[in-house]
């Protein structure tokens, strides 16, 4: 009998970590970090950190520079940002306008997004109702074409 390739052996763990991470972020508004994930899943921290690195390499999530700490599990940002989302009775953060609106979509919930205008800093408010942008003015500008976002996702 042959042994499955290592990457196939990791697939189940990676899926388990991914599902827990996104479910916890959606349910609480907080993105769990590797130690919390390890405790919740009854896994070792080193197993979870390795899974996080594989998921980051697969662009499923973003780790902080030079770290295994999770910065974002798009659309959920692990740290406070300028893009605050109120949805489903909780507060969430997005890295950018795209992800802030993505929180409402991921939750299937109405939402209010507040953020400063990237041009002038004036406060902006976007309202999502029934899966549509119900209220909001302005222009969302993407300085980097989508095909190049992952060249430097932190800047993008």
pLDDT score at 24: 97
pLDDT score at 96: 87
Return the residue matching tokens 């430097």: 152
Q: Are 72 and 62 in contact (CB under 8 A)?
A: yes
- Range list of H helices, the chain: 6-28, 34-41, 45-57, 97-107
- Give the pair of three-digit tokens for residue 43: 């896994």
Return the residue matching tokens 């996104």: 22
* Helix/strand/coil percentages in the chain, nearest 5: 40, 20, 40
156 residues of the chain, pLDDT tens digit each: 444 455 557 999 999 999 999 999 999 999 999 999 999 999 999 999 999 999 999 999 999 988 999 999 999 999 999 999 999 999 999 998 889 999 999 999 999 999 998 888 889 999 999 999 897 677 766 777 767 666 656 655
Integer Cα distance of 152 and 59 in angstroms: 12
CATH numbers and ranges of domains, the chain? 6-73 (1.10.10.10), 79-151 (3.15.10.60)
């Amino acid at each position: 009998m042959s042994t499955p390739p290592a990457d196939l052996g990791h697939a189940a763990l990676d899926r388990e970590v991914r599902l827990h991470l996104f479910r916890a972020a959606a349910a609480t508004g907080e993105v769990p970090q590797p130690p919390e994930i390890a405790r919740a899943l009854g896994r070792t921290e080193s197993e979870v950190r390795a899974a996080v690195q594989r998921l980051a390499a697969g662009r499923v999530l973003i780790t902080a520079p030079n770290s295994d700490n999770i910065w974002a599990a798009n659309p959920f940002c692990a740290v406070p940002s300028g893009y605050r989302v109120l949805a489903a009775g909780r507060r969430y953060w997005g890295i950018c306008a795209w992800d802030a609106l993505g929180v409402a979509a991921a939750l299937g919930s109405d939402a209010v997004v507040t953020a400063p205008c990237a041009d002038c800093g004036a406060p902006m408010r976007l309202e999502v109702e029934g899966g549509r942008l119900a209220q909001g003015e302005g222009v969302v500008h993407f300085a980097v074409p989508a095909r190049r976002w992952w060249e430097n996702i932190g800047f993008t």
